[in-house]
Structure 1
Amino acid sequence: MNGKLSSGTTPHEADPPQASNLALSPEAAPPDTAMDDASGINFGPLPPFVPEFPVYIFYLGERKHDDPNLVTQSHLEILKSVLGSEEATNKSMVYSYHHGFSGFAAKLKPAEAEKLKKHPEVIILLENRKLGLQTTRTWDYLGQFSTPTSSKSLLHETNMGSGAIIGVIDSGIWSESGSFDDDGYGPIPKHWKGQCVSADQFSPADCNKKLIGAKYYIDGLNADLETSINSTTEYLSPRDHNGHGTQVSSTAAGSFVSNMTLLGLSSGSIMRGGAPKAHIAMYKACWDVEGGMCSVADVWKAFDEAIHDGVDVLSVSVGGSALKTLDVEIDIAIPALHAVNKGIPVVSPAGNEGSRSSSVINVSPWILTVAATTLDRSFSTLITLENNKTYLGQSLYTGPEISFTDVICTGDHSNVDQITKGKVIMHFSMGPVRPLTPDVVQKNGGIGLIYVRNPGDSRVECPVNFPCIYLDMEVGSELYTYIQTSSMKIKISPYKTIIGESVASKVAKSSARGPSSFSPAILKPDIAAPGLTLLTPRIPTDEDTREFVYSGTSMATPVIAGIVALLKISHPNWSPAVIKSALVTTAMKTDPYGERLTVDGGNYKVADAFDYGGGLVNLEKATDPGLVYDMDINDYIHYLCSQALYTDKKVSALTGNVNNKCPSSSSSILDLNVPSITIPDLKGTVNVTRTVTNVGRVKSVYKPVIEAPFGFNVVVSPKKLKFNKTRNKLAFTVTVSPGSHRVNTAFYFGSLTWSDKVHNVTIPISLRTRFIDNFFL
């Protein structure tokens, strides 16, 4: 319900002007550019479209009424206090947020928005922003085999997530996919209040006992676009046009699909989601514009209704740029806080702007922020020399074998039209130089393309029916030497899938890294999960089958969301913070084969806490963590107040409780009860406190094991934690000093583990000295 008044005159005489070409806010993506196709010359950015009446979001805190109609009416009255008439108010209102929290989105002139900001009930004014959308082998890799091998496995104990409802805020869903089959499902949970709406090529009949809810939200995005999205370019309904939402939903909770193949790829595999018997509710707030665009106003409305409908977990694979999120009040932080405060874990991506430091997004401590790793799977194409020496390159080439043919080596493509016909091009490219593309080689008669690049360099998208192969510099240089010294020809074979211990697991190059520049004392990301080359169902509108294979932290996010759903079923009384703690403190620093996780890219370093948080998720250990670091709304208030963004008035309005206020100025953000210790500006000795709750054996004794970061002194007190029936929650202090360090350092990493010889409860420690404040270290 958007809510409307009845009549009157309006100062908004005209709708925003319409134009024929879709233009986007510069916050959504890099501005469009004018380009001459022949020369490739960039003539500069086109002017961004600025709507006459931009959308603004007004956040009012917790609801003051249980009746959503009364909440909406209060929003209309607030808006009318500035616009002066019912007609203007009705035309201005975009959304009323009246279920999970109180607020509204409205189209206003900037001066009107500034005037409304001063209304006593308005806590926060936000400009509407545009956000971006950031499997078979996955679960075997994590030790959760499609057929549970033990009656004590988490998958078995939870009946594969039966009864849990995973809400997905994304680009919609293709309900006909086998991943959403409901054979063998029991009744829909009684606490469910949602619905499936009827709209463009979608009806309630498209839902079932698997897909139990489907809604869509577009008003916020359309209001800020020069040309509204219409049914010729999208489905104006929950139906997925982009494909992203279908992939995310199937990864989190897809039903079993047998004999999953991609032109022979992973033939015979069983595809399923993390909680294959959980229910799915889709909230479409992202649209097929520029590869996937979501308006903050629409995303907030999706949160609002998901909280009301009764979802148990929210998977939200959206986010903006780290440079655009230097404020806890924007994007998804506030509605996510309301969800978490009502017991709904919110799982979101770390972002795909890695591997730069401080590129992580979704950094609020109540959000479960996910990094992406590779799997123990490689799609490789065999290159064979005439002397039978072979090389494996990275490729998804599915075409016929290319018989022995000549290779031409080049570092540029200025004369490619003169040398390409009937040959394979071996192209050396360094750094950001624009590489030779497959279409150029094909256009000029080439029959294959081998890229030789550093692992950290970006890649060109390759079609699956053309041999387009990647080699790193070392292997490529060796192959080049053979060809140059012996004039050998090469043969290219179709790809094969390599699975298992021989394939190294890494933190994905694209996965965004910590620390958060906005709140560096809070470790982000929290956890890592497989997110590269996940095989998921495609929608019929996809252009070709290469779209089966998807990568990114938005794919790792539903992996964790599925696991969270299982934990919610296994431990219904656990809070979102306890679930996060269980995941972080039991995570692995190695892959499932015991090899240390490294980072994908050109620097070959061992991964650390800013790459993967606690580490790679270990779902069987997470169900029995021993000790947990719990938090509640008071801890989150502590965080908000520490950012100097919230006053006592704002805190009271946010929680709906006049007794909630900011803690004393002596409270340190370092004492926030997160399952990590991060000190970004250590100058002397600092005491950090944490409290752990025993969720394991009632009578147990834990002792600390400290792995101090290099050169630092770390001491824990007390030396034992003794739990019993009356003492299930105990505090401890960690004393940290710079030790041997006398200058500004980079971050060093270590850990603190509490062990009772059954459980090892580990939190990462990240320390940096800052004796002199400057702009660089």
Structure 2
Amino acid sequence: MVYSYKHGFSGFAAKLTESQAQQLAELPGVVHVIPNSLHKLQTTRSWDFLGLSPQSPNNILHNSKMGDGVIIGVFDTGIWPESKSFGDDGLGPVPSRWKGICISGDKFNATTNCNKKIIGARSYIDGFLAEYGQPLNSSRDREYLSPRDANGHGTHTASTAGGSFVGNVSFRGLATGTVRGGAPRARLAIYKVCWNILGGQCAAADMLKAFDDAIHDGVDVLSLSIGSSIPLFSDVDERDGIATGSFHAVARGIAVVCGAANDGPSAYTVHNTAPWILSVAASTTDRAFPTPITLGNNKTLLGQALFTGKEIDFTGLVYPESTGLDSTAGSCEALKLDKTSVAGNVVLCFTSMARQISFIASTVVQEAGGVGLIVAKHPRDILTSCVADFPCIEVDYEIGTQILFYIRNPLVKLSPTKTIVGMPVSPKVAYFSSRGPSSIAPAILKVRFNTHCLINLALGRAQSELALLTYTGPVPA
């Protein structure tokens, strides 16, 4: 026996052979025998942009008392309780209806790590271990056998949903302000169902046990930034632990809010489309980080970056293909650099890939002696933080082509990034956010909500690890 489910629904999880499972399924009174399955993880200014500033007295934030009295259950990789986002200053007693508990474990002390903000903390791993096939080794797997977060994803999502006010927060001096969650006075109940192994895996059996406990504990809303792998399960597929568990939670008056996933921009990639689940997309805000690129002819072009180091005065500009290397030398994902021509210069490269390419390419350029990198790519609504104090500026293909044509007389100056807010734009679905309709049931369009995301500051595992992340996930009002 792995688990017994008894609060929200009746059942159990056990290790069975295929023959045993078939025999059990044929017994009277057995509704379903379903296989265990693995799911995956799906991150300041946003709330003001959405008109939810604490300084505005007549908005939903104040009308809802900033979530005071609401209990948010978070299914994720756990929590880093020392983060200032989880301070309980100014909060009243824990709601008397709360029946949950905090459980101590590896590097997590229920007495000192739980408070009036983190009012519950549990972890579930037996279902995962049944699939993983070997015991968890904390040092080898860089994981904690407790509610403590070794990944950072759960801490991020918890602070985004219900983090307390934390003032004077920035990313390397950019985007300075007060960071908070959508419901800063809400209480948090942490259910660690995902583990920092194989890229972040969450077993259906563990999630079902967490749903069962959350129903018993008395949460008001459940937040899950978790989904299936593509190809997606049918939303009535017996393997989908999220759809099954959330059905029982919703039947008992608990709202279940799930991330729509980050597999966009293609259609039919939206996750968690069961009709009883509220699916949430990621969207842009009115904040930008323009970074001036001045060419030798004094023409200034604007890119986007998170560069806070010293200005790089006029220096050489190099495109690897023009140095006599092969025709793929200027591709960011396969940079081939002549150290003699790169040393002390800025490198231009082009890519059709997303996300982490800028970081990887900047490392290659820095190791070759370069002093900066300009990445021409399709705009994807996400900025990559590169090596500290190393200018890594992203531009679109049009600007990249202008720089390429200019490169015959190659001089360039890179200036530090600035923060601009109040841009006259409406929120739009972020490039990477999954799109509907459902791949299994196209009549279900989804996404139901398009909420804040980019660019979003959330407090990580330690205060010094503040990061610019993306989050496709729920924010309860």
TM-score by structure 1 length?
0.56
CA contact (8 A) 2:318 2:407 kept: no
Question: 1:551 is matched with which residue: 431, 453, 470?
Answer: 470
Q: What letter corresponds to residue 467 of structure 2 in structure 1?
A: F
Question: 1:262 is matched with which residue: 168, 171, 182?
Answer: 171
| Residue 110 of structure 1: how far off its partner (Å) | 2.1
Q: What letter corresponds to residue 224 of structure 1 in structure 2?
A: E
> 1:476 and 2:400 equivalent?
yes
1:221 and 1:393 map into 2 onto residues whose CA distance is: 44
Q: What letter corresponds to residue 363 of structure 2 in structure 1?
A: D
Match of 2:418 in 1: 496
3-state SS in 1 of match to 2:338: helix
CA contact (8 A) 2:259 2:281 kept: yes
CA contact (8 A) 2:69 2:186 kept: yes
> 1:417 and 2:305 equivalent?
no
Task: Indicate how the Cα distance of structure 1 residues 235 and 390 shifts in structure 2: closer, same or farther if over 3 A, else same.
Answer: same
Question: 2:31 is matched with which residue: 123, 148, 152?
Answer: 123
Match of 2:298 in 1: 388
CA contact (8 A) 2:108 2:146 kept: yes
2:37 and 2:468 map into 1 onto residues whose CA distance is: 29
> 1:96 and 2:9 equivalent?
no
1:324 and 1:104 map into 2 onto residues whose CA distance is: 25
Deviations 1:364-415 (A, max 9, x none): 1100011111111122322112343212212112322212111112353364
The worse-fitting range, judged by mean Cα deviation, of 340-349 and 238-247 is: 238-247
Task: Indicate how the Cα distance of structure 1 residues 492 and 502 shifts in structure 2: closer, same or farther if over 3 A, else same.
Answer: farther
1:423 and 1:251 map into 2 onto residues whose CA distance is: 40
Match of 1:742 in 2: none
3-state SS in 2 of match to 1:451: strand
Aligned-pair identity (%): 49
1:455 and 1:314 map into 2 onto residues whose CA distance is: 33
Q: What letter corresponds to residue 244 of structure 2 in structure 1?
A: I
Deviations 1:63-121 (A, max 9, x none): xxxxxxxxxxxxxxxxxxxxxxxxxxxxxx11111111112111122222222222223
Question: 1:213 is matched with which residue: 100, 103, 120?
Answer: 120
CA contact (8 A) 2:46 2:454 kept: no
Task: Indicate how the Cα distance of structure 1 residues 440 and 299 shifts in structure 2: closer, same or farther if over 3 A, else same.
Answer: same
| Residue 456 of structure 1: how far off its partner (Å) | 5.4
Task: Indicate how the Cα distance of structure 1 residues 359 and 480 shifts in structure 2: closer, same or farther if over 3 A, else same.
Answer: same
2:348 and 2:384 map into 1 onto residues whose CA distance is: 14
Q: What letter corresponds to residue 534 of structure 1 in structure 2?
A: N
CA contact (8 A) 2:2 2:126 kept: yes
Match of 1:228 in 2: 135
CA contact (8 A) 1:134 1:318 kept: yes
Match of 2:100 in 1: 194
3-state SS in 1 of match to 2:291: strand
Deviations 1:492-531 (A, max 9, x none): 1222212112456431111111111212222211111112
CA contact (8 A) 2:76 2:225 kept: yes
| Residue 212 of structure 1: how far off its partner (Å) | 0.6
| Residue 488 of structure 1: how far off its partner (Å) | 4.0
| Residue 220 of structure 1: how far off its partner (Å) | 0.9
Match of 2:147 in 1: 238
1:113 and 1:461 map into 2 onto residues whose CA distance is: 49
Task: Indicate how the Cα distance of structure 1 residues 381 and 459 shifts in structure 2: closer, same or farther if over 3 A, else same.
Answer: closer
Deviations 1:555-574 (A, max 9, x none): xx232x2x1xxxxxxxxxxx
2:43 and 2:120 map into 1 onto residues whose CA distance is: 22
Note the 1:724-763 alignment, pairs <5 A.
none
| Residue 133 of structure 1: how far off its partner (Å) | 1.1
Q: What letter corresponds to residue 260 of structure 2 in structure 1?
A: A
1:243 and 1:342 map into 2 onto residues whose CA distance is: 30
Match of 2:81 in 1: 175
CA contact (8 A) 1:322 1:360 kept: no
> 1:110 and 2:18 equivalent?
yes
Q: What letter corresponds to residue 170 of structure 1 in structure 2?
A: D
Task: Indicate how the Cα distance of structure 1 residues 415 and 360 shifts in structure 2: closer, same or farther if over 3 A, else same.
Answer: closer
Q: What letter corresponds to residue 292 of structure 2 in structure 1?
A: L
Match of 1:305 in 2: 213
> 1:249 and 2:158 equivalent?
yes
Task: Indicate how the Cα distance of structure 1 residues 431 and 163 shifts in structure 2: closer, same or farther if over 3 A, else same.
Answer: closer
Note the 1:222-371 alignment, pairs <5 A.
222-232=129-139, 233-267=142-176, 269-328=177-236, 329=238, 330-371=240-281
3-state SS in 2 of match to 1:138: helix
2:156 and 2:342 map into 1 onto residues whose CA distance is: 38
The worse-fitting range, judged by mean Cα deviation, of 459-468 and 303-312 is: 459-468
CA contact (8 A) 2:313 2:412 kept: yes
The worse-fitting range, judged by mean Cα deviation, of 93-102 and 220-229 is: 220-229
CA contact (8 A) 2:74 2:190 kept: yes
3-state SS in 1 of match to 2:138: coil
2:352 and 2:224 map into 1 onto residues whose CA distance is: 35
CA contact (8 A) 1:165 1:311 kept: yes
1:221 and 1:363 map into 2 onto residues whose CA distance is: 24
CA contact (8 A) 1:220 1:298 kept: yes
Task: Indicate how the Cα distance of structure 1 residues 505 and 109 shifts in structure 2: closer, same or farther if over 3 A, else same.
Answer: same
> 1:154 and 2:68 equivalent?
no
Q: Which runs of 5+ in 2 are unaligned?
A: 322-327, 330-334
Match of 2:324 in 1: none
| Residue 459 of structure 1: how far off its partner (Å) | 8.4
Match of 1:203 in 2: 109
**Number of aligned positions between the proteins:** 457
1:504 and 1:452 map into 2 onto residues whose CA distance is: 25
2:174 and 2:308 map into 1 onto residues whose CA distance is: 9
Task: Indicate how the Cα distance of structure 1 residues 522 and 164 shifts in structure 2: closer, same or farther if over 3 A, else same.
Answer: same
Match of 2:332 in 1: none
* Greater relative contact order structure (CA < 8 Å, 6+ sep): 2
Task: Indicate how the Cα distance of structure 1 residues 210 and 430 shifts in structure 2: closer, same or farther if over 3 A, else same.
Answer: closer
Question: 2:436 is matched with which residue: 494, 504, 514?
Answer: 514
Task: Indicate how the Cα distance of structure 1 residues 523 and 266 shifts in structure 2: closer, same or farther if over 3 A, else same.
Answer: same
Q: What letter corresponds to residue 184 of structure 2 in structure 1?
A: P
| Residue 227 of structure 1: how far off its partner (Å) | 3.4
CA contact (8 A) 2:280 2:474 kept: no
1:208 and 1:357 map into 2 onto residues whose CA distance is: 43
CA contact (8 A) 1:215 1:283 kept: yes
1:415 and 1:524 map into 2 onto residues whose CA distance is: 44
CA contact (8 A) 2:41 2:194 kept: yes
3-state SS in 2 of match to 1:299: helix
Match of 1:442 in 2: 366
CA contact (8 A) 2:282 2:430 kept: yes
The worse-fitting range, judged by mean Cα deviation, of 297-306 and 439-448 is: 439-448
2:441 and 2:95 map into 1 onto residues whose CA distance is: 39
2:206 and 2:424 map into 1 onto residues whose CA distance is: 45
RMSD value over aligned CA atoms?
A: 2.2
Deviations 1:158-192 (A, max 9, x none): 32111110111111111111111111111111111
